[in-house]
Amino acid sequence: MNPVELIRKKREGDTLTKEELEEFISRFVAGEIPDYQMSAFLMAVYFKGMNVEETATFTEVMLHSGDTVDLSMIPGIKVDKHSTGGVGDKVSLILAPMVAACGVPVPMISGRGLGHTGGTLDKLESIPGFRTNFSIADYKKIIAETGLVLIGQTKEIAPADKRMYALRDVTATVESIPLIAGSIMSEKLAEGIDALVLDVKTGNGAFMQQYDDSLALAKALVGIGNSMGKKTVGFITDMSQPLGCMIGNWLEVVESVECLRGKNVPDLMEVTYVLGGAMLRLGGKAGSIEEGMKQCKSAIYSGKAYEKFCQIVARQGGDVSFVEQPGKYQKTKHIIEVKSQAAGYVVGFNTMKMGLLGIELGAGRKKVDDVIDPAAGIVLTKKLGDKVVSGETVALIHTNRDKTVQPASAELSSCIHVADAAVVPPSLVQAYLDAEGVKPWLTPQLY
Amino acid sequence: MNPVELIRKKREGDTLTKEELEEFISRFVAGEIPDYQMSAFLMAVYFKGMNVEETATFTEVMLHSGDTVDLSMIPGIKVDKHSTGGVGDKVSLILAPMVAACGVPVPMISGRGLGHTGGTLDKLESIPGFRTNFSIADYKKIIAETGLVLIGQTKEIAPADKRMYALRDVTATVESIPLIAGSIMSEKLAEGIDALVLDVKTGNGAFMQQYDDSLALAKALVGIGNSMGKKTVGFITDMSQPLGCMIGNWLEVVESVECLRGKNVPDLMEVTYVLGGAMLRLGGKAGSIEEGMKQCKSAIYSGKAYEKFCQIVARQGGDVSFVEQPGKYQKTKHIIEVKSQAAGYVVGFNTMKMGLLGIELGAGRKKVDDVIDPAAGIVLTKKLGDKVVSGETVALIHTNRDKTVQPASAELSSCIHVADAAVVPPSLVQAYLDAEGVKPWLTPQLY
What's the pLDDT tens digit per position in B269-327? 999 999 999 999 999 999 999 999 999 999 999 999 999 999 999 999 999 999 999 99
User: How far apart are the CA of A43 and the nearest CA of chain B, in angstroms?
Assistant: 6
| Burial class for B414, CB neighbours closer than 10 Å (0-12, 13-18, 19+) | exposed
Chain B CB contacts of A170 under 8 Å are 3-4, 36-37
Q: If we measure between CA atoms, which residue out of A114, A214, A259, A112 comes closest to residue A429?
A: A214
Q: Are residues B304 and B348 in the same domain?
A: no
What does the pLDDT look like over B275-290, one tens digit per residue? 999 999 999 999 999 9
What does the pLDDT look like over A283-296, one tens digit per residue? 999 999 999 999 99
Put simply, the answer to whether B44 touches A172 (Cβ < 8 Å) is yes
pLDDT exceeds 90 at position A49: yes
pLDDT exceeds 80 at position B42: yes
Chain A CB contacts of B3 under 8 Å are 170
Can you spell out the DSSP letters for B243-279? SSSEESHHHHHHHHHHHHTT---HHHHHHHHHHHHHH
Distant-in-sequence, close-in-space partners of A170: CB < 8 Å, separation ≥ 6: B3, B4, B36, B37
Range in A136-145, B366-375, B376-385 with the lowest mean pLDDT: B366-375
Domain assignment of residue B196, given as a range: 79-325+427-439
Chain B CB contacts of A42 under 8 Å are 40
Put simply, the answer to whether B40 touches A172 (Cβ < 8 Å) is yes
User: How far apart are the CA of A417 and the nearest CA of chain B, in angstroms?
Assistant: 29
Mean pLDDT of chain A: 95
The distance between the two most distant Cα atoms of chain B, rounded to a whole number of Å, is: 68
In the DSSP assignment, the letter for residue B89 is -
Q: Are residues A252 and A121 in the same domain?
A: yes
User: How far apart are the CA of A222 and the nearest CA of chain B, in angstroms?
Assistant: 28
Out of B4, B35, B171, closest to residue A170 by CB: B4
What does the pLDDT look like over A273-283, one tens digit per residue? 999 999 999 99
Mean pLDDT of chain B: 95
Out of B8, B43, B172, closest to residue A4 by CB: B172
Chain B CB contacts of A3 under 8 Å are 170
Sheet architecture: strand order including B437-440: B79-83, B195-202, B231-238, B429-434, B437-440
Cα separation, A203 vs B427, whole angstroms: 58
Q: Give domain status of residue B278, yes or no.
A: yes
Is-above-0.90 flag for pTM? no
Q: Give domain status of residue B225, yes or no.
A: yes
- Indicate the helix (H) or strand (E) that contains A393: strand A393-399
Distant-in-sequence, close-in-space partners of A158: CB < 8 Å, separation ≥ 6: A62, A63, A65, A66, A186, A187, A190
C-alpha distances out from residue A440 to A144, A204, A281, A429, B291, Å = 37, 21, 18, 9, 78
Q: Are residues A376 and A409 in the same domain?
A: yes
Q: Give domain status of residue A223, yes or no.
A: yes
3 state DSSP class of A1: coil
Q: Are residues A112 and A193 in the same domain?
A: yes
Put simply, the answer to whether B40 touches A11 (Cβ < 8 Å) is no
Q: Are residues B37 and B143 in the same domain?
A: no
Q: Are residues B395 and B288 in the same domain?
A: no
User: How far apart are the CA of A117 and the nearest CA of chain B, in angstroms?
Assistant: 19
What does the pLDDT look like over A375-434, one tens digit per residue? 999 999 999 999 999 999 999 999 999 999 999 999 999 999 999 998 888 999 999 999
Put simply, the answer to whether A39 touches B37 (Cβ < 8 Å) is yes
Residue pairs spanning A and B at CB distance below 8 A: 72
Q: Give domain status of residue A55, yes or no.
A: no
pLDDT exceeds 80 at position A114: no
- Is B229:B185 a contact under the CB 8 Å cutoff? no
pLDDT at B395 (0 to 100): 98
Cα separation, A186 vs A64, whole angstroms: 8
User: How far apart are the CA of A16 and the nearest CA of chain B, in angstroms?
Assistant: 15
Most B CBs within 10 Å: which of A171, A366, A367, as the mutation test of the B interface? A171
C-alpha distances out from residue B406 to A289, A428, B113, B254, B358, Å = 72, 72, 25, 25, 14
Q: What is the mean pLDDT of residues A4-20?
A: 95
Label residue A293 left, alpha or beta by phi (over 0 means left) and psi (-120 to 50 means alpha): alpha
| Chain B CA closest to residue A170 | B4
What does the pLDDT look like over B232-274, one tens digit per residue? 999 999 999 999 999 999 999 999 999 999 999 999 999 999 9
| Chain A CA closest to residue B11 | A172
Q: Are residues B193 and B100 in the same domain?
A: yes
3 state DSSP class of A153: coil
Beta partners for A419? A345
Q: Give domain status of residue B63, yes or no.
A: no
Q: Are residues A227 and A347 in the same domain?
A: no
Q: Domain with A215 in it: what CATH number?
A: 3.40.1030.10
Q: Domain with A23 in it: what CATH number?
A: 1.20.970.10
Put simply, the answer to whether B7 touches A171 (Cβ < 8 Å) is yes
Q: In one letter, which amino acid is B97?
A: P
Q: Give domain status of residue A271, yes or no.
A: yes
- Report the b/e string of B159-173 with b at 16+ CB within 10 A: ebbbbbbebbebbbb
User: How far apart are the CA of B45 and the nearest CA of chain A, in angstroms?
Assistant: 10
Cα separation, A184 vs A59, whole angstroms: 9
Put simply, the answer to whether A37 touches B34 (Cβ < 8 Å) is no
Q: Give domain status of residue B67, yes or no.
A: no
Put simply, the answer to whether B35 touches A34 (Cβ < 8 Å) is yes
Q: Give domain status of residue B74, yes or no.
A: no
Q: Are residues A158 and A125 in the same domain?
A: yes
What does the pLDDT look like over B385-413, one tens digit per residue? 999 999 999 999 999 999 999 999 999 99
In the DSSP assignment, the letter for residue B428 is S
Put simply, the answer to whether B40 touches A42 (Cβ < 8 Å) is yes
pLDDT at A154 (0 to 100): 85
Q: How many domains does chain A have?
A: 3
Q: Are residues A130 and A220 in the same domain?
A: yes
Does B172 touch chain A if contact means CB atoms closer than 8 Å?
yes
Range in A108-122, B120-134, B185-199 with the lowest mean pLDDT: A108-122
Q: Are residues B307 and B393 in the same domain?
A: no
- Is B78:B194 a contact under the CB 8 Å cutoff? yes
- Report the b/e string of B77-104 with b at 16+ CB within 10 A: bbbbbbbbbbbbbbbbbbbbbbbbbbeb
pLDDT at B153 (0 to 100): 85
Cα separation, A75 vs A68, whole angstroms: 18
Cα separation, A212 vs A202, whole angstroms: 9
pLDDT exceeds 80 at position B370: yes
Q: Are residues A138 and A11 in the same domain?
A: no
ipTM of the complex: 0.82
Q: Domain with B415 in it: what CATH number?
A: 3.90.1170.30
